[in-house]
Chain A
């Protein structure tokens, strides 16, 4: 069931994803939106690792995103380092900082307290990026960040960068899905489910949570580097709360605890945001309302709700007898929302 449903959802999605820039998103601007969807999807997946897998919340997640973007941009601009090395250096650097912040925060704090501690860190990081002109370029940031190139050919066009980023998104989804069922993934999940019980069977809660947190930071740092080398600039706003809210919308609208959720959330966010472009800053007003409606009527997010409805339809057709018996996923989804 799990495998087959994965293929049935995954294969058509992939085909659609490959065809999109050739059919619907044919001009460079629209293709740029596709790149943004992929970048937000990676960021959303990383935030959902904290929210869905760890059951925690970090308000400093965008700071790691911006940090990753700066690291890669800085290396390329100041040291002439290839963006490919930046794509490795950014997640490593973000992961190391994540390890430090995680170690400070996660030894004692969970839940709301952790959200506040990470919020403090995020605001601090944003302020540093804004003020430390010699390094960060101050409010205007850094420009002319070079694109990556393969065999002397620059991945500069939206189309090429989209396919490039899409491949990396697939790798991320693949790794995350395998990670869930690994010893590490199960340890993290067990702490989320019941920390005392996890400790009593030998799971070091602090160790696994710090590593899991750093992993999520590392992943979002990677997403930040992808952003920097495509849009070719970085500025302090990348570390700020605006992007934090974007990632939050991506995760909550798409659905936590499912790999397709944040991907779908990123798609919805970018497209709706584009349709509402005329409203400028008031867009977030609309998003506030959308978020409210989703949380009220689809508390598990769009993707899990869709999956449940489809499963129910399939089951009803399959056997009328069992149609009213809620399945395990259904219950798990509802629990997570509560």
Chain B
């Protein structure tokens, strides 16, 4: 059974088929790449899967259950967590508070506990704070813990974004162009981060333009063009695929 599956997923914007009868299967433990030219519907597909927009037709199945049209916070509660194409942080808060605010699902403290600062509350909060530090250490931002998010570099923004998503304890993580704006070293760091996540049992759906990243870490790749799937396979198969090359570069003269 696939962890995530879409069947006939379709979204119309007026007359435009932004996503067109998309069938996607992501197995547990995979790093599935989702690529395609600009405007091919990758982000729309991700928005449909995570409940940020509702599909015109088709279904999304997660953990074997139909979750079509479920709101994002419900899906996050079930372990389906996303990041955003344009870096999305709590910009005015510190790095620590960013992850702390992202830990909503992982925060066991009660309202009464918070008001009375009971011993139990203090213990719970200390444990939560330790988990926040752990997460920040994992993405390499521990030294920046007291910095305000807006002051971070482009690379650090991306790592913090991933840290916030990890604070929600994802079983499946959907990353929307996480390497955008990263220099080559930072991209390599990100790549290793995603690999480590997979080893820890997180399934990943990765939208990316950086083909080096895709071919290096994805187990399988799905290619979209004009909202529809035009190819699927291992990275090696994809780069050889005639339809994919045509979609990206146009038809070969005389072909």
Interface residues of B in 103-120 (CB under 8 A from A): 103-105, 107, 109-111, 114-115, 117
| Distance in angstroms between the alpha carbons of A203 and B167 in the assembled complex | 12
- Interface membership of A335, Cβ < 8 A: yes
The residues of B that contact A181 with a CB separation of less than 8 Å are 114
- Interface membership of A322, Cβ < 8 A: no
- Interface membership of A175, Cβ < 8 A: yes
B101:A193 contact, CB within 8 angstroms: yes
Residue of A nearest to B79 (CB): A202
Chain A 327-338 per-residue mask, 1 if CB under 8 angstroms from chain B, else 0? 010011001100
* Among listed B68-76, B185-193, B207-215, B224-232, interface-contacting one: B68-76
Interface residues of A in 172-221 (CB under 8 A from B): 175, 178-179, 181-187, 189-190, 193-194, 196-205
Interface residues of B in 139-187 (CB under 8 A from A): 146, 148, 150, 164-165, 167-168
Residue of A nearest to B146 (CB): A328
Instruction: Give the shortest distance, in Å, between B169 (CB) and chain A (any CB).
Output: 9
Which residue of B89, B94, B100, B115 contacts A186 across the interface (Cβ within 8 Å)? Answer: B100
A178:B90 contact, CB within 8 angstroms: no
Task: Name A's interface SS.
Answer: helix
The residues of B that contact A331 with a CB separation of less than 8 Å are 92, 148, 150
A194:B73 contact, CB within 8 angstroms: no
Chain B 216-235 per-residue mask, 1 if CB under 8 angstroms from chain A, else 0? 00000000000000000000
- Interface membership of B248, Cβ < 8 A: no
| Distance in angstroms between the alpha carbons of A186 and B106 in the assembled complex | 13
A202:B105 contact, CB within 8 angstroms: yes
The residues of B that contact A190 with a CB separation of less than 8 Å are 90, 101-102, 104
A203:B104 contact, CB within 8 angstroms: yes
Interface residues of B in 33-62 (CB under 8 A from A): 50, 52
**Known contacts A178-B114, A182-B114, A197-B84; A204 and B73 CB within 8 A of each other:** yes
- Interface membership of B82, Cβ < 8 A: yes
- Interface membership of B91, Cβ < 8 A: yes
**Known contacts A183-B109, A186-B101, A190-B104; A200 and B76 CB within 8 A of each other:** yes
Residue of B nearest to A199 (CB): B72
Instruction: Give the shortest distance, in Å, between B70 (CB) and chain A (any CB).
Output: 12
B148:A332 contact, CB within 8 angstroms: yes
The residues of A that contact B103 with a CB separation of less than 8 Å are 201
**Known contacts A193-B101, A202-B76, A202-B168; A182 and B88 CB within 8 A of each other:** no
The residues of B that contact A182 with a CB separation of less than 8 Å are 109, 111, 114-115
B104:A196 contact, CB within 8 angstroms: no
| Distance in angstroms between the alpha carbons of A203 and B76 in the assembled complex | 9
The residues of B that contact A198 with a CB separation of less than 8 Å are 101, 104
B109:A201 contact, CB within 8 angstroms: no
A201:B114 contact, CB within 8 angstroms: no
The listed residue with most B CB atoms (<10 A of its CB), out of A175, A183, A197, A202, is A202
Instruction: Give the shortest distance, in Å, between B50 (CB) and chain A (any CB).
Output: 7
The residues of A that contact B84 with a CB separation of less than 8 Å are 196-197, 200
**Known contacts A183-B104, A187-B104, A201-B164; A193 and B114 CB within 8 A of each other:** no
A183:B114 contact, CB within 8 angstroms: yes
**Known contacts A186-B104, A197-B89, A328-B148; A203 and B73 CB within 8 A of each other:** yes
A200:B82 contact, CB within 8 angstroms: yes
A-B contact pairs, 30 of them (CB 8 A): A179-B115, A182-B111, A183-B104, A186-B100, A186-B101, A186-B107, A189-B90, A190-B90, A190-B104, A193-B93, A194-B90, A194-B91, A196-B84, A198-B101, A199-B71, A200-B81, A200-B84, A200-B88, A201-B81, A201-B101, A201-B102, A201-B165, A201-B168, A202-B73, A202-B77, A202-B105, A205-B73, A331-B92, A331-B148, A331-B150
| 6 closest Cβ pairs, A-B complex | A182-B114, A202-B76, A193-B90, A202-B105, A190-B101, A199-B72
